[in-house]
Amino acid sequence: MDGKRLAQGLLNATGDDLRLVYALVMETKLYDLLLAKAKDVMTKDLNHFEQNLQEEIKRLHQYPDEQLQLQLFLYMLEQLEIKGAHYNLLTEIEYACTQIVEKAHALQLKQDKQYKQFAEKRDEQPSVSLVLYQMQKIFESFDQGRADLDDETTENLIQQIEAYIQSLPLEKQRQIKEKLNIDELTNSTIQQLIATQGTAVLMAIIVEVAGFAAFTTLTSTIAATAGLLGVTLPFGAYMFATSALSILTGPVGLALIAVGGGALINYQNKKVRKAFIPIGIVQLLLPAVIEEKQPVQVERFIQEWQKLYDKQQKILQEIATYEMTQQQQQAKKDVFKEQMRLQTDQHAKKQAMLTNKLAAIEKCSDLIAVHEKSPAYIQLTGEMANILQTMNKKRNEIEANRKQAGLWNTVKNTFANQSITSQLKELNEKYRLKEQLRIEEVVKMKPQQLKAQCITAEEYQFELDQLQKEIQITRTSIQQTKDAISTTERQIQQLKGECKKHQKKWYGLEHIV
């Protein structure tokens, strides 16, 4: 029943009534209340809290009712730490509302000792306890302020109540008289009832008979007529303001005002905003608790939630598609890497075969007839001989330096020999290069005695060149695949960020991925 009542109140809330609750619960911060209270002290003829509230309600008219209903619903779930679920059916919404009422009830029990005593005495359902307690607090505030009213204001107040009762249907008037155990509802009888039993008793009976409309009308009328607490707000804001006032004048509020520190205000703001949740829930519960059950318009609410869920599912599906693509790209890269490994192994084997073949040709180079030697071969042979001759001279220099006696010669020749050794390394490298070029020239010459070996060497070289091209193509494919994987990873991260942002804005979606 609790869930049905809250769902009814939430889904039937529209227009300014909905925006009032939304603004009070979701947009009002402790800092705003403190600032408004401070401004009221400076400008006593203006209620800054009411002014800010009206501006916020006006701003909220740009959003449709169902969007605000859903945001308010999800905000209450988040503040009360209730996990999100699917809301495709009214029963699912009502179940979540049951959890909200139960949590709000438990929160109110924990933070308000008077409410705990009230609830234990009455033993009502949580939704009823929350509403009746708040109504009692409102009525009590009227009684507390009534003693300070002058005779003229008191008379005006009684006339307002009498006029409202007289405006009710005769059957409703009869029921009120019966419950009050009086014969007539006149100015004098009302005055006597208020004097002996208080405004609270009279108000409670009128509301019990006349319903929600009586509560909203009379609370606003009495507050405005009597000027209680300086409140001229709609009933919802009045209830919120009285509760907020108790917080602001309580230990937390006094500490904040005394310290005046922004850090402390920010620290307590979350806690205080959570304390306002039960107040907002009461606003929504009031019509459903006081009056009979009314049919709810749930279709647009569900459609609004479904749009949010569908957007999340679309993003998740895109992520899944990209992740599958990434897996395929990774598998493709692994294939290319294995392919290149095989190509590299084959290249190494073929290179070893060519090296051995060229070494064999070099060993047999003395079989080349003089007339078969090309000018390039002859020139390379001469250059190699010159290099060998130079290397022998360098070695002799080193040997001669080592034989010189004396400390100075030893130091000087040590550095000299290091330089000559470095030159020898360069000459040896130069010799090896010339040797390689001469072997290649032999292969080109194809002398009669080595023709078969030279042809085989050329075949090996051709195969090596082809393998090198294939390796390069594979290496390029690997790099392209790596780039594609990186691009896909960025797309996945971007979508995950978009999904996280969507889930942060709309509480509960992360629980049903």
Residues contacting residue 300 through CB under 8 Å, at least 6 positions apart: 64, 65, 66
Q: Quick check: helix, strand or coil at residue 233? A: coil
DSSP state letters, 241-305: HHHHHHHHTSHHHHHHHHH--HHHHHHHHHHHHHHTHHHHHHHHHHHHHHS-------HHHHHHH
> Is 249 inside a domain boundary?
yes
Minimum mean pLDDT range among 250-264, 330-344, 375-389: 250-264
**Is 496 a member of any domain?**
no
Residue type, 504: K
Q: What gap in Å lies between CA 260 and CA 255, rounded to an integer?
A: 8
Residue 456: inside a domain, yes or no? no
How far, in Å, are 35, 50, 230, 233, 287 from residue 45 at the CA level?
A: 16, 12, 10, 14, 32
Is the confidence at residue 160, as pLDDT, over 80?
A: no
User: Using an 8 Å Cβ cutoff, are 239 and 134 in contact?
Assistant: yes
Residue 380 lies in a domain: no
Of residues 216, 211, 218, the one with CA closest to residue 190: 218
Phi first, then psi: give them for residue 311, nearest 5 degrees.
-65, -45
**Is residue 131 in a domain?**
yes
**What percent of the chain has a predicted confidence (pLDDT) above 70?**
82
Helices (H), 364-406: 375-403
Read off the pLDDT of residues 209-225 as tens digits, 9 standing for 90 and up.
776 666 667 776 766 66
Over residues 181-196, mean pLDDT = 77
Beta-strand ranges (E) seen in 8-64 are: none
Rounded-to-integer distance, Cα 328 and Cα 233, Å:
64
- 26 found inside a domain: yes
Provide the pLDDT for residue 230: 43
Task: State the average pLDDT for the chain.
Answer: 83
How high is the pLDDT of residue 292?
A: 58
Q: Which two structure tokens, joined as six digits, stand for 213?
A: 């409309």
Between CA 480 and CA 483 the distance in angstroms is 5
pLDDT tens figures, 388-413: 999 999 999 998 888 887 788 778 88
47 φ, ψ (degrees, to nearest 5): -90, 100
Torsion sign (Cα): 321, 326, 329, 330: negative
The domain total for the chain is 1
pLDDT over 80 at 264, yes or no: no
Tokens at 499, concatenated: 């999904």
Tell me the C-alpha distance between 389 and 392, whole Å.
5
What is the full DSSP assignment across 162-210? HHHHHHS-HHHHHHHHHHHT-S---HHHHHHHHHHH-HHHHHHHHHHHH
For the record, the structure tokens of 387 come out as 């290099």
Residue 243: domain span: 2-297
Structure tokens at 235: 């009933």
Instruction: Name residue, tokens 């084959």.
Output: 346
| pLDDT of 279 over the 70 cut | yes
433 located within any domain: no
What are the structure tokens assigned to 410, written together?
A: 């030893």
Burial (Cβ within 10 Å: 0-12, 13-18, ≥19) of residue 240: buried
What's the Rg (C-alpha) of the chain?
A: 47
CA proximity to 153, closest of 223, 236, 231, 235: 223
Mean pLDDT computed over 414-423: 91
Q: Is residue 173 part of a domain?
A: yes
Helix (H, G, I), strand (E, B) or coil at 159: helix
What is the structure's pLDDT at 291? 66
Query: Does position 366 have pLDDT exceeding 70, yes or no?
Result: yes
On the question of pLDDT at 20 being above 70, the answer is yes
